[in-house]
Amino acid sequence: MPIEKIIVLEDDLVVRKNLEQQLRYRRYDVAAVNTIAGAQELLSKDNFDLMIVDIRLPDGDGRTLLKQLQSRPMKPLVVMISGFGTVDVAVECMSNGAFTFLTKPFSPEQLAVTLKKAEEHTQLVKVSQFLSHAEDDEAGYELLGKSQQIEQLRQLIRRVARTQATVLIQGESGTGKELVARALYRQSPRDTAPFIKLNCAAIPENLIESEFFGHEKGAFTGALTKREGRFELAHGGTILLDEISEISPPVQAKLLRVLQEREFERVGGNRTIKVNVRVIATTNRQLSESVERKEFRQDLFFRLNVVPIYISPLREHKQDVPLLAEQFRIRFARKHGMEVKGFSDHCMSALMDHDWPGNVRELQNVVERAVILCGERGIIEPAHLGLAQRPDSAQAALGMTTAHILSSSTPDSGGFCTLSELEKRHILAALERSKGNRTHAAKMLSISIRTLRNKLNEYKFKPPAAHPARTAIRE
Ligand SMILES: Nc1ncnc2c1ncn2[C@@H]1O[C@H](COP(=O)(O)OP(=O)(O)OP(=O)(O)O)[C@@H](O)[C@H]1O
Ligand SMILES: [Mg+2]
């Protein structure tokens, strides 16, 4: 419920009590006062979501308070009420920032309609505040590819999108899991409701619960005001829980309850909040294996895995590489204002020969860089791809001594290794030293396992196929 706390400012005892009763019945938190001074005192202590304000009051005019409220940073919606409502007064109130105007007496139905509109309005404002902070570049892109794998994926999306079923999307990093999640949303009946994303791996463990479920004012140090969590923002719409394998056991337990009962409490709160949300989760790990290792609750896995969608790695549908490369060439030539005509034959063969451990994302990055580097002729050659000397082929970085690391450099760093390159090599060297055991490697590096995983995802690190035993990833 986006609206919780309401002030009723009305001097007529009967009307005030009546309003208070109706609002309490609808489970709002109501404070009722009969003077402007009383309302101001309440406002000095707390934030309110909505005010119902009479115009003629013993200590002044409700319209003056309405004007004052407009300069508050967290201003409530104001519903003005009056027994002497003329069109002029109503227009004046609206132009001074009132949400709406009701003429007394009004029926419970009129009040209900007003509250419903106010709820919808508040929800929209909150979602748009969230979206204006979120990066949303990817929103409009289509799933490209003509291979059987991609065609089947498209069909599955069409069938599943129509339902309300929870979906678990699995696939290696860069295969397009988020893209598929967005396609599911766009083709669903909820396409006009919010789509809210939460990257579970990117948020520090101690903040994740409050990101999911929100918190009350004063729930922890720094919680200066109440804040809605992503589940509340997604009410009526869809939530994407990205990298779901990364949540801790206590949060897993709470998420299970949301999936079963569609209800939760905010951190530090005891009011139960009910939501209607469609859940889509993604992971680039084998979640069933995490279940076997007892890192992920089996009951939660079953709840999430109602409709499983698996996306194949690009190396298993290489026939899509030319089409994807062409589309990315066009997209990035436009983005960077370059004229790039196409790929040379040799270049296309190089693209087909590559194994794409970072999947479509890697291809996309390679093409973007090639578009920038290809120069006047406008034809992309193998040298522009930089595939041969890519340091993240892992082999290059594994097994290096510190002396190697410090003395070697990347081709474009002017003979000196960059700091991020050095960090990457050091991490991969630690992984080599720990024989692929991530927990040990993270300990050696004094970083959390989560940070290590994120960094490896960033590098699109995959253990080289030739040495499965040597680099098998173990936690
Ligand atoms: N079939 C495809 N057609 C067009 N673009 C694609 C396709 N698959 C992936 N992409 C693009 O590749 C990039 C990576 O995709 P996305 O972020 O969805 O991958 P992901 O599986 O969620 O990766 P990660 O596990 O690392 O989060 C995005 O820019 C996306 O638009
Ligand atoms: Mg993703």
Query: Which one of the ligands is nearest to 149 CA?
Result: 1
Q: Give the Å distance between the CA of 63 and the centre of ligand 2.
A: 50
Which of 382, 411, 413 has the alpha carbon at shortest distance from 396?
411
- For residues 371 and 333, is the Cβ–Cβ distance under 8 A? yes
Ligand with minimal distance to 454 CA:
1
* Residue 30 alpha carbon to ligand 1 centre in Å: 47
CATH number of 395-471: 1.10.10.60
pLDDT in tens, 254-284: 999 999 999 999 999 988 999 999 999 999 9
The predicted structure's pLDDT at residue 22: 96
Largest CA distance in the chain: 86
User: What pLDDT sits at residue 134?
Assistant: 61
In the prediction, which pLDDT does 468 show? 36
Q: How confident is the model at residue 388 (pLDDT cuts 50, 70, 90)?
A: low
- Please determine whether the domains at 5-121 and 137-310 fall in the same fold group of CATH: yes
Percent of the chain past pLDDT 70, that is, above it, reads 88
Identity of residue 83: G
204 has a pLDDT exceeding 70: yes
Ligand 1 neighbour 179 (Cβ under 6 A): yes
Residue 118 has pLDDT above 70, yes or no: yes
Most confident listed range (7-11, 73-77, 337-341, 457-461): 7-11
Q: How far is Cα 75 from Cα 77, in angstroms, rounded to an integer?
A: 7
- Per-residue pLDDT tens over the stretch 335-375: 889 899 999 999 999 999 999 999 999 999 999 999 999 88
Domains of the chain, by residue range, sit at: 5-121, 137-310, 314-385, 395-471
**How far is it, in rounded angstroms, from Cα 225 to Cα 365?**
41
CATH class label, 314-385 = mainly alpha
pLDDT in tens, 143-154: 999 999 999 999
* pLDDT, average across residues 105-119: 95
Whether domain 137-310 has CATH 2.40.128.50: the reply is: no
Q: Is 145 in the pocket of ligand 1 (CB under 6 A)?
A: yes
Rounded Cα–Cα distance for residues 231 and 53 (Å): 31
Residue 169 has pLDDT above 90, yes or no: yes
Q: How far is the centre of ligand 1, averaged over its atoms, from the C-alpha of 367 (Å)?
A: 14
- 373-384 per-position pLDDT tens digit: 988 889 999 999
Class of domain 5-121: alpha beta
